């Protein structure tokens, strides 16, 4: 579990090979999103970001699931073509890094364990 209240730009903000957050000054700068449930407010930045998610998936460094306050198209499409579960309209302020969370993406249910 890796949580931030900030937005994420997958293109430019995340290293597509390693999954590390490289955006200057980002709350998660230096951390890897690979294999984690990634919680952030919404996607921002360049529209190439969907392919970054696809590349992360193929490289084995994609998040296990994505939880958003509000998903936008770039994140949603990246999740669709990569098969990453994604749930939005989540009160993300209730979730902090390190918490144990169960995501049932089919029903859109997220439980804090």
Partner 1 sequence: MELTQAEKWMLEGREGQATRKAMEILAALGTIYGADRLLPVASVQIAGVSYDNLGEAGLEFLAEMASDGAKVKVLTTLNPAGMDIENWQVMGIDADFALNQQRVIEAYQKMGIVPTCSCTPYLFGNLPHYGEHIAWAESSAVCYANSVLGARTNREGGPSALAAALTGKTPDYGFHLTQNRYPTLTVQVQESLAGTHDFGTLGIAIGKVIEASRVKTIPYIRGIPEASMEELKSFCASIATYGGLALFHMEGITPESALFEAPGDCLTINRSDLEAADRFLNEASAIDQVDFVSLGCPHLSLQEIARVAEQLKGKKVRKTFWITTARPTKRIADQMGYTTIIEKAGAIFATDTCCVVAPIQGRFKAIATDSAKACYYAAAKNGFQTRFLPFDKVIEEALK
Q: How far is the CB of 75 from partner 1 (least distance, A)?
A: 8
Q: Which positions touch partner 1 (CB under 8 A)? A: 5-7, 9, 11-13, 16, 22-24, 41-52, 54-55, 57-59, 69-74, 76-78, 80-81
Shortest Cβ distance from residue 110 to partner 1 (Å)?
16
Closest CA to 52 of 34, 26, 29: 34
Cβ 14 vs Cβ 51: under 8 Å: no
Residues assigned a catalytic role: 46
- Residue with Cβ nearer partner 1 (1 or 75): 75
**Cα–Cα distance measured from residue 108 to residue 58, given in angstroms and rounded to the nearest whole number:** 25
Q: Are 37 and 2 in contact (CB under 8 A)?
A: yes
Is the CB of 69 or the CB of 101 nearer to partner 1? 69
Nearest residue (CB) to partner 1, 81 versus 99: 81
Other CB atoms within a 10 A radius of the CB of residue 40 amount to 24
CA distance 111 to 56: 26
- For the CB of residue 63, give the shortest distance to partner 1 in the complex, in Å: 16
């Amino acid at each position: 579990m890796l949580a931030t209240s900030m937005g994420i730009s997958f293109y430019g903000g995340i290293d597509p090979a390693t999954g590390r957050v490289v955006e200057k000054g980002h709350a998660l700068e230096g951390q890897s999103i690979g294999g984690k449930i990634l919680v952030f407010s919404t996607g921002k930045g360049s529209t190439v970001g969907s392919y970054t998610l696809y590349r992360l998936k193929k490289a084995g460094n994609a998040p296990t699931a994505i939880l958003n306050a509000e998903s936008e198209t770039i994140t949603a499409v990246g999740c669709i073509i990569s098969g990453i579960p994604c749930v939005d309209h989540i009160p993300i302020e209730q979730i902090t890094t390190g918490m144990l969370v169960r995501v049932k993406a089919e029903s859109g249910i997220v439980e804090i364990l």
